[in-house]
Amino acid sequence: MDFGDEDPVVPQEELDAIAAACGNHPDVEMRIHAGAGHGFSHTGWPGYRPEVMDAAHASLEALLARLRS
């Protein structure tokens, strides 16, 4: 899961709750991207951050590859 640390839709207390709920589950990765807000992956949105999207996309591709195998 990829989140921005400046996302008003998913504030820090929600990130903490998600992290606590996931615990140390081996199949869950949570990444918090510094300086990214909501919609960092949406081309054309004011908060679009291509460098963050590239990192999140690489993680998504790795997940999909694991699911396919």
- Beta strands (DSSP E) in 1-69 are 2-4, 31-33
Long-range Cβ contact pairs of 40-49 (< 8 A, separation 24 or more): 40/4, 41/2, 47/4, 49/4
User: Within its chain, how far is the Cα of 44 from the centroid?
Assistant: 18
Say if CB 56 and CB 42 are below 8 A apart.
no
Task: Determine how many CB atoms are found less than 10 A away from the CB of residue 52.
Answer: 20
pLDDT at residue 23, as a whole number:
81
**Sequence spans of domains, the chain:** 2-68
Mean pLDDT by 10 residues, the chain (69 residues): 93 95 89 92 89 88 89
pLDDT at residue 66, as a whole number:
87
**DSSP state, residue 59:** H
